[in-house]
């Protein structure tokens, strides 16, 4: 068994072959209480050895091992004697390099698949049902295991769906144990980590805080730093974490861009400051943002404009504070952002991933950015961030709130952003959130974006007269990490109350509709 200190220094390395879920694998490892990091598949054996890992996990990927230019693995990595788990594509790479056979039989498996555990299932599948449902996504199959490996599971299309070698401490599964659709997926990961590799469950959010505080101090030194505090969970926790590291060197800046929900400015100026003691400067930039967004309907352009104006607003604050900082010899040159990993992935920042949409703090930043970014949450998921916030003493009203996009209501208006449209959406959003809270549903949904279809008019009857009002869309979703999501089945009586109140109380709205699309194919936000 490894000690807590050793685990923090010696990670489980997730080798990324371009999988959308590489970070999710790393998260599942962390959920098992073991520290993890992600490295690209291009890492050499020497680079891997230099990190002194306690185990390796080879991720899935979109390629075929037979394709020209397909992601490969330095063969020397499997000669390092490190316990290794291969998943999907990583399973096939492992099989191929160790002398097994990977074949394209024309049989493919996508989605829910029945797998049969062979014999006792070995250390990897031991104690699990002989028949179980797993989540597959592959066109090639391992048709023969490497010499000395035991076949641990099979499916109708895949004779070798899992294998293992206790002697080498090498294991692999064709399915995706990191997704919740695989019934015993987390058990597979934990069996590998704890039973096969012998790793202790001794990594937690306290380790993250300690590690990030050390990194922040090393990056910032005696310098001054601004924080992009929006009032959302991500920026609130990142600000608190940096404040924990450098104290009064941090100035939190709250930009009221006019795209906020009801009461958010007051919550930041009162509750957050009281709980952290951070120095806060509020900038009223509502007119500036509205002028910049005038006439703009394209969602990507809106995101980039909002990102640009955020930075420009911070630069103005920087100019005002520079004299103060210069007097102490420490210029204001760092900017804190609450960037999370899903932001990076959807902006094309993950290995082998496509650009789904630009996030204001990733794809929407100006090329001439004058700050050095401090992003202590960049490799974390939302639930990990919430726990860190709680450990830092932030109030539950802040760390437990629904995720809210950095561009705010600007991307929940489908069409041009105007002051009138913002008021309509603000009122509708407040009603929806109030009724969900009254019904005790805040803990059951991940997020409920309320969307205004500003460029759409629908016919209605209100006050015995014909109306042409805007539709409002309710988008309640359930998710663990925002990488995938399903629409939440809210009680009909709650939906009815929300709809009735919005159409009765919000001017120019005469229709409320429910979005019942999962992610994929749709994203959580409409824009």
Could you give the residue ranges of the DSSP H alpha helices within 439-491? Answer: none
Report the C-alpha gap between 133 and 122 in whole angstroms.
18
Q: Are 386 and 400 in contact (CB under 8 A)?
A: yes
Beta bridge partner(s), residue 513: 473
Do residues 219 and 248 touch, judged by C-beta distance below 8 A? no
Q: Hey, which residues does 465 pair with through a beta bridge?
A: 462
Tell me whether residue 178 is one of the annotated catalytic residues: yes
Q: Which two tokens stand for residue 519?
A: 């992610």
Phi, psi of 394 (to 5 degrees): -75, 145
Alpha-carbon torsion (405, 409, 410, 412), positive or negative:
positive
- How far is C-alpha 292 from the geometric centre of its chain's CA atoms? 29
470 is catalytic: no
Active site residue 181: no
The active-site residue out of 41, 109, 138, 178 is 178
Residue 476, H or E segment:
none
CA 301 – CA 321 distance, rounded (Å): 30
Catalytic site residue from 138, 176, 243, 470: 176
- Signed CA dihedral, 116, 119, 120, 121: sign only: negative
CA 118 centroid distance within chain? 36
Q: Which of 31, 88, 109, 359 is catalytic?
A: 88
Burial class (CB in 10 A: 0-12, 13-18, 19+), 194: middle
CB of 322 closer than 8 Å to CB of 331 = yes
Helix (H, G, I), strand (E, B) or coil at 341: helix
Lookup: tokens for 164: 């293992």
Written as one string, the DSSP assignment of 234-246 is HHHHHHHHHHHHH
CA-based torsion, 73, 75, 77, 78: positive or negative: positive
Q: How far apart are CA 379 and CA 135, in angstroms?
A: 25
Helix crossing, 419-438 with 492-505: angle to 10°? Answer: 150
Cα-Cα-Cα-Cα dihedral sign, residues 455, 407, 288, 363: negative
162 three-state secondary structure: strand
d(CA 35, CA 172): 20
Pull the structure tokens for residue 477: 């979703």
As a whole number of angstroms, the distance between CA 178 and CA 495 comes to 33
Q: Are 414 and 454 in contact (CB under 8 A)?
A: yes
Catalytic residues: 88, 176, 178
């Amino acid at each position: 068994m490894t000690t807590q200190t050793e685990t923090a220094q010696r990670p489980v390395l997730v080798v990324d072959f371009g999988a959308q879920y590489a970070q999710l694998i790393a998260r599942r490892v962390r959920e098992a209480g073991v520290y993890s990091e992600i490295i690209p598949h291009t890492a050499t054996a020497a680079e891997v050895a230099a990190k002194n890992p306690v185990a390796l996990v080879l991720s899935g990927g979109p390629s075929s091992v037979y394709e020209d230019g397909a992601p490969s693995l330095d063969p020397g990595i499997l000669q390092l004697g490190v316990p290794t788990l291969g998943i999907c594509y990583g399973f096939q790479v492992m099989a191929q390099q160790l002398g097994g056979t990977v074949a394209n039989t024309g049989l493919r498996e996508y989605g829910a698949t029945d797998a049969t555990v062979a014999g006792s299932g070995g250390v990897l599948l031991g104690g699990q049902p002989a028949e179980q449902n797993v989540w597959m996504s592959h066109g090639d199959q391992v048709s023969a295991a490497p010499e000395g490996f035991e076949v641990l599971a099979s499916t109708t299309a895949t004779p070798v769906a899992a294998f293992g070698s206790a002697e080498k401490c090498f294991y692999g599964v064709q399915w995706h144990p990191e997704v919740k659709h695989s019934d015993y997926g987390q058990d597979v990961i934990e069996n590998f980590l704890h039973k096969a590799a012998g790793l202790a469950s001794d990594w937690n959010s306290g380790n993250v805080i300690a590690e990030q505080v050390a990194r922040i101090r090393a990056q910032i030194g005696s310098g001054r730093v601004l924080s992009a505090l929006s009032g959302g969970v991500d920026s609130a926790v990142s600000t608190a974490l940096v404040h924990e590291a450098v104290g009064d060197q941090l100035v939190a800046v709250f930009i009221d861009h006019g795209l906020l929900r009801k009461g958010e400015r007051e919550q930041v100026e009162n509750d957050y400051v009281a709980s952290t003691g951070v120095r806060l400067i509020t900038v009223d930039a509502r007119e500036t943002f509205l002028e910049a967004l005038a006439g703009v309907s394209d969602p990507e352009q809106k995101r980039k404009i909002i990102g640009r104006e955020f930075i420009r607003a911070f630069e103005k604050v920087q100019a005002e504070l520079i004299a103060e900082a210069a007097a102490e010899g420490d210029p204001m040159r760092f900017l804190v952002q609450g960037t999370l990993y899903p932001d990076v992935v959807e902006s094309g920042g993950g290995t082998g991933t496509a650009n789904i949409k630009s996030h204001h703090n990733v794809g929407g930043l100006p090329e001439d950015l004058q700050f050095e970014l401090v992003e202590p949450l960049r490799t974390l998921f939302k639930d990990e961030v919430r726990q860190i916030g709680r450990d830092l003493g932030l109030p539950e009203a802040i760390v437990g709130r629904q995720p809210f996009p950095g561009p705010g209501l600007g991307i929940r208006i489908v069409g041009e952003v105007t002051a009138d449209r913002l008021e309509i959406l603000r009122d509708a959003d407040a009603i929806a959130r109030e009724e969900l809270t009254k019904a005790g549903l805040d803990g059951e949904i991940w997020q409920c974006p309320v969307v205004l279809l500003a460029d759409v008019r629908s016919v209605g009857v209100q006050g015995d007269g014909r109306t042409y009002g805007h539709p409002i869309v309710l988008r309640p979703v359930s998710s663990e990490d925002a990488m995938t999501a399903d629409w939440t089945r809210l009680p009909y009586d709650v939906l009815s109350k929300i709809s009735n109140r919005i159409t009765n109380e919000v001017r120019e709205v005469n229709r409320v509709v429910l979005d019942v699309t999962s992610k994929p194919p749709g994203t959580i936000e409409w824009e």
